[in-house]
Amino acid sequence: METNTQAALLVKMTVAAWDTQNNYFTKLIDMLSDEQMKSEIAPGRNTGVYLLGHLAAVSDAMLPLLGWGDKLFPELEEVFIKNPDKATAEKPSVAELKEKLQAVNTTLSSHIHATTLDQWLDRHMAVSHEDFAKEPHRNRLNVLISRTNHMANHIGQLLLLKQAS
Amino acid sequence: METNTQAALLVKMTVAAWDTQNNYFTKLIDMLSDEQMKSEIAPGRNTGVYLLGHLAAVSDAMLPLLGWGDKLFPELEEVFIKNPDKATAEKPSVAELKEKLQAVNTTLSSHIHATTLDQWLDRHMAVSHEDFAKEPHRNRLNVLISRTNHMANHIGQLLLLKQAS
């Protein structure tokens, strides 16, 4: 296999891993009732609603981090990233959060699938040109890898909202 | 950046993501008391002991899957992969499972860090030469990506064993 084909294949595999987790996340929250989504994953822990809002906010924040424009729903950050679940009594409804997630995913996906190998390996917006020259792994694709694992982490928790079989 | 350098960097990033999750997993189970490890992550769900054994068994099974030799502890599969937590009353101790995990990680890590780019992109042992020719993404590195996400999934659950802050 030629080496440029190798690099392209590696990017494809990494994007596929993101898609797998992200599609599974969407499928999972669609399987859960609003009642289940409002429950805590374990006694005293985060609710499904909070984790849904959290993952939507983190995906939304990937847009500016990857140089793909402004966040669509900057208001999510305060409730779902800066503050823990119990800090905010009133949260958006499950339906509203699912709609926002879908909008974020549509925008994100169009960028992800239009990004070239060289663009993936270019710096992300939170690293300076100077630091990037020394640490070339701090690129856009590494953000996608890290966000994939973050999502997998919370999917493991959301699975606890399903009825025990 | 030259394209062969690109592919090497991509492999390095993927291996680093595995190391991050795997090191975090080890650190997490070392932080938890035996009492906490024996608890369920949520009422009626898997215990920490089961998830520790499960992840040790899944990592051990990577050895033959990646063509790196036999499993070190084939007996783990029956209790921690083929059967659910509640099916087996008597389980190995936390100390024994931690020792086995460490042995698996030492062997696995020596192979992971000695594997070349071309070896990573070669087929894993569960795919035939014929299928691999059509689906080149079914390579060893893809197994590592998939196991990284699987581990992240269960780390999210093991985190629930920590005392709520």
Instruction: Assess whether pLDDT exceeds 60 at residue B165.
Output: no
Retrieve residue B89's tokens.
């009353």
Interface of A with B (CB under 8 A): 1-4, 6-7, 9-14, 16-17, 20-21, 41-45, 117-118, 121, 136-137, 141-142, 145-146, 148-150, 152-157, 159-160, 164
State pTM to two decimals. Answer: 0.96
CA distance A53 to A98: 8
CA angle, residues A103, A152, A137, in degrees to nearest 5 = 90
Domains by residue range for chain B, with CATH: 3-23+47-164 (1.20.120.450)
Residue A163 in this model has a pLDDT that exceeds 60: yes
Q: What is the pLDDT of residue B42?
A: 96
Per-residue pLDDT for B1 more than 90? no
Q: Which residue has the tokens 């609003």?
A: A34
Asked whether the predicted pLDDT for residue A141 surpasses 80, the reply is: yes
- Find the distance separating the first CA and the last CA of chain A, reported in whole Å: 46
- CB-CB under 8 Å, B11 with A146: no
pLDDT tier at B2, thresholds 50, 70, 90: low
Bridge partners of A47? A40
- Mean per-residue pLDDT, B32-45: 96
Residue A1 is predicted with a pLDDT of: 62
Cβ–Cβ below 8 Å for B150 and A152: yes
Separation of first and last alpha carbons in chain B: 46
Average pLDDT over residues B138-157: 98
- Average pLDDT of span B122-126: 95
Q: Is B67 helix (H, G, I), strand (E, B) or coil?
A: coil
β-sheet bridge partners, residue B123: B139
For residues A57 and A76, is the Cβ–Cβ distance under 8 A? yes
Q: What is the pLDDT of residues B65-101, one digit of tens each?
A: 999 999 999 999 999 999 999 998 889 999 999 999 9
The predicted model gives A60-65 an average pLDDT of 98
Tokens of A84: 């823990």
Tell me how far apart the alpha carbons of residues B41 and B150 are, in angstroms, rounded to a whole number.
17
The token pair at B59 is: 């990592």
Mean pLDDT score of chain B: 96
CB atoms within 10 A of CB B36: 16
Single-letter amino acid code for the residue at B28: L
Any idea what the Cα angle at residue B24 is, between residues B152 and A38, rounded to 5°?
Answer: 45
Q: Is the pLDDT of residue A3 over 70?
A: no
Residue B104 to residue B121: CA distance in whole angstroms: 23
Q: What is the pLDDT of residue B3?
A: 59
pLDDT at B36 over 60: yes
* Model pLDDT, residue A66: 98
**Could you tell me which residues are beta bridge partners of residue B40?**
B47
Residue with tokens 């609603």: A49
Q: What is the pLDDT of residues A87-133, one digit of tens each?
A: 988 899 999 999 999 999 999 999 999 999 999 999 999 999 999 99
Three-state SS for B139?
A: strand
Of B18 and A89, more confident: B18
3-class secondary structure, B114 = coil
Q: Please answer yes or no on whether B149 and A14 come within 8 Å at the CB atom.
A: no
pLDDT digit string, tens, across residues A10-58: 999 999 999 999 999 999 999 999 999 999 999 999 999 999 999 999 9
Which positions in chain B have a beta carbon within 8 angstroms of at least one beta carbon in chain A? 1-4, 6-7, 9-14, 16-17, 20-21, 41-45, 117, 121, 136-137, 141-142, 145-146, 148-150, 152-157, 159-160, 164
Mean per-residue pLDDT, A147-161: 98
